[in-house]
Each structure stands twice: as structure tokens, then as C-alpha cells.
Chain A
Amino acid sequence: MKKLIDYTKILRSKNAGPLFITFDLIFNNNEDMLYIAERLTKAHIAKAYNVPASKIDIIVYSVVNSIKITFPRKNISGSLADNDIYGCQQHVPLANIEL
């Protein structure tokens, strides 16, 4: 089993405003993107981040061979319990999903 990060050229997380976290997966080619788009489910993300599947959006953006994932932050940016104000180090559980 390969990890998700092994399929990608770019795998990153960042705030989409302080209430949402968004992840970009950019692939080397359309084939790799489609391979993952067919296999990566909301259930994978829900488990990796302990967030309800109903709150997760997965959008394929084939113009640049990419998949975007967005869901609400449990801890809003800058709240007392938050540990990552910019949200740019939240990608590791996603990177480690085995597919």
C-alpha cells in the first residue's frame, strides 16, 4: 500500500479563511489524479481528521490535475485551543492515508 503523499507532486494544507481548512493535492498527470479521485473518499478524510463526512467537500479540479478537500476547522484560527494559526501544517494525516 502506498501513502497518498507518494502519488502527489504537491500536498498542502492552509486556511480558507479562519473557519475552514483546505487541502490541495496536485498530481503529476491526469492519470494519477483520476486514480486517486476514484479511490479517495470522504470516509478516509473523516477518519483521518475525526470530522463528520457530511461536512467534507472533495472537488476535482482537472485543469491542473488536482483535488481539493475542504472542511470546517474544529478550532477556529487563533482560538485558545488552536495550535496552527495559518493551518499550513495540518496535512500530515492526509498524507499518510494508505490507498
Chain B
Amino acid sequence: MKIVALNGLLGYGYSEEALDIAFSEKVDYLGVDAGSTDPGPYYLGSGKSFTDRGAVKRDLELALPKALAQKAPFIIGTAGGAGSARHVQWLKEILLEIAAEKNLQFKLGVVFSDVSKEFVLEKLDSGKITNMSDEMPLSQEAIKESTTIVSQIGIAPIIELLKEKADVILCGRACDTAIYAAPCIYNGYNPGLAFHMAKIMECGAMCSEPVAAADVMQAYMYEDYFELRPANPIRKCTVDRVAAHTLYEQSNPYLIFEPDGVCDLTNSQFRQVDERTVRVTGSVFKEAEQPTLKLEGVKCSGYRTICPATIYDPETIRQFDTIADTVMNFVKENTKNTLPDGSYTVSFKTNGGEESSLGIIMDIVGQTQEIADTVCALVRSRMLHCDYPGRKSSAGNLAFPFSPSDIHVGPVYEFSVFHLAQVDSLLETSKIELEEIGL
């Protein structure tokens, strides 16, 4: 069975020639990961994608007709970058646009993976939440403050849609591995090999030389092994690259944790089959007694206004801490009757120092954008003209690179939930929809 990974992230691009080569053979499944938590909590909170619409459309519109022509189900994980219902809708609209433009017909399966606050509160109350890190326990308050919470689905809902003969499967927040492991396990392949293959494939051609998240990767599944070969002839898979891949972004290189269990790579072996192909054997899957789903939630922490500036004068840099104290005392005094306590935070994000220059970002987060603007303007103007002992450069302390100097960043989100929930069924959080497109 042949599985193709379009690239490591939908919208990052890939070689069209490489895609042609991949589809010059029979392809059984095509997959692509469309999201990540790497860019931080903002995207889940705002409902926006960190990938560009035009780039996402390009990546999809070249691949979709090929997958449909070969009747290879096309599985897309973590739509829109963060996988909430709004992100799924965003990507679905792009798919519908392509279908209309190219006159394509297909059966679309969609998996929504959002969960309600009530669902998470019930899990917390019944002792079914596990912390991933001691630094982040879960409280009822954190759940109630959350604006969006999603669950990271595994293979189960994708397999449901494969059974329904969906041509395109669009997932909300999904484990990266589920995209590629689901079709293998659905077809009866060894789950240890399936998850190990999937862990490598989800990054596209990252496991090849020259390395690239932005290119097409191919996996060939067999009963006792799988093989990896990049589609692009300029790249090759090497044992080192493939073996090293499970180091990347993983807390443990031997274990891949999945909702249904853990994939153990302790006895995995890697062998160079030909110049561009690596064979992997020995990866083992151990089913968990208690299946879990990872929950990801965010809260809105306020609204941000920033002001970047640079200090070049070494004496001003030496006295920066004194200046910062003066500025903060002034801001507190100046706003004591107008802004409520705790309605804003000010932090100075600095880089460099006396030996070069001091870069500062004045970072103000307020309960409203207006509060952030007011405080930022006070901090900026007071710091610009702040006196200090022995000051000679009395015209101003700050070099501003921009006019206007202050920048609206808008709402600020922080992760509020990042926990494991014990579930009775791995379909518990999935809402599945099927739709005929273009008929």
C-alpha cells in the first residue's frame, strides 16, 4: 500500500514535479497535516489561520484532482492551523471554491473536534483529567475562562469516515500521526509500524536530504516493515535522517504517545535499501488500558499595544533599570484615579546591552485596547524624556524605528487548558458530517 504526504504543513508548498512523480504510481491514500501549536495560542483563540489562504489553496488545488482521479482518499489533519470549528469552516470554504472552479465531485467527510466547557468541567469533576506538566494544573476557573477548547482526535473518527467511503476527510484538531496511521490500521497493517511511519510522514520530506518540510514524501507499507522514499529525485532518505526524526519536537525519542496507546521504538531497526530508500522494522504498539484525548484550550488575557525602540547611548543603557523604575512609578501615579488596579501589565522585552545597543519592546497588555493604548503612550513618552543622573543626551533616550511608534497587536490569548482527558470512546468528542460536493 502506498501513502503520500503532500508536505509537512499545508500551505508551506511542495514541488509540483515531485507530486507528479508520486502519482505516476498507484497511490492508495494522500495526507497532509494542516496545523500545529508551535505558533502559540493566538490562532486557536482568534479563529485565524497562521498559514496563508493563497498558499493553502495552491497546495490543495494541485493535489485534489490527482487524489480524486486515483480514488485515493485525501486526509487533512488540523484544518486551518488550530483545528477549531472556525478553522475547519475556513478550510472547507477553500475546498468548495476549488471544487467549483475545477468542477470536481467528491464525498466530503468532516470531523469537528471542539469540546464544550461543560464537557471539560465534567471530566475534571469526575477525576478524569491528567496534568501533562506540574506547571499547569487544571482548575474550574481556567475552564470557565476558556474561549475555545478542542480535542486532539486520533485514528477512530478518520476510520469511521474511511468506512463511509469519503473521498476527502477534513479534520479539526487531530494528532499529526492519525492522518497517516488511520488508513494503515483500517487496512489491517501493524499499528506499531503504522504509527512510526505516520510520525515520520507528518513532517513531509523532513526525514530526507536535503531536508525540507515543503516537499512530497512517500511511504510503502508491507506486513513486517515500511519503506520511505522522497518523491523528489533531488532528495534521498538516509538511515540517520529517518532514525533522527523521532528526536524532533518529541519529549522522548523511543515513545510516541497516542490516544489509543503508545508506539515503542526501542527495538526499531533502520536499513538503507537503495540510495534513496530506508526500510524500518520492529516498531511495536502497546494499547493503553485507558484511552485519553489531549485537550487544548485558550483564554483571552487582554489586548496588546507594543512600542519598539532602541537605546544607543551606553550611559542611558547602564541606567536603564533606574529609568524603567521611574517610568513605572510615574505610570502608576498618573493612572491611579483613572485605571482600575490590575487592569494592565507592562513588561520591557530587551535585547543586547552596553556593548552594542539595547533593543526594547514596551509590551503593554490591558483589559481593553484603550487601556493598553493609554498605558503604552504614557510609558513611551515618559521613557523618551526620562532624566537620570549625569544625563548629557537630554533631547531624548529612545530611537524609534517607526511612525506611528505604537502598534496595536489586538487580543492576546494564552493556553488555559493543555491536559489529557480519559474517555470511554475515542469518538466521544468527534462530530462527524458527510456531504456530497459538486453534485
Binding site for B on A (CB under 8 A): 14-20, 22, 24, 26, 55, 57, 59, 61, 63-64, 66, 68, 70, 72-74, 76-81, 83, 85-86
Contacts and interface: CB of A to CB of B under 8 A. Distances in A.
Contact of A17 (B37, B42, B252, B270): B37
A19 B270 CA distance: 31
Contact of B42 (A14, A68, A78, A83): A78
> Which size class do B's interface residues fall under?
35 or more
Contacts of B412: 80
Interface string B174-209: 000000000000000000000000000000000000
Interface of B: 37-42, 132-136, 240, 243-244, 247-254, 268, 270, 301, 345, 347, 349, 363, 365, 412-415, 418
B418 A18 contact: yes
28 contacts: A15-B38, A16-B250, A16-B251, A17-B251, A19-B135, A20-B133, A24-B248, A26-B247, A57-B252, A61-B247, A61-B254, A63-B253, A63-B268, A64-B240, A64-B247, A68-B253, A70-B252, A72-B133, A77-B415, A78-B42, A78-B413, A80-B363, A80-B412, A83-B349, A85-B38, A85-B39, A86-B38, A86-B39
Contact of B37 (A18, A73, A80, A83): A18
Contacts, number: 94
Nearest to B349: A83
Contact of A74 (B38, B135, B249, B254): B135
Contacts of B253: 59, 61, 63, 66, 68
Contacts of A86: 38-39
A55 B136 CA distance: 14
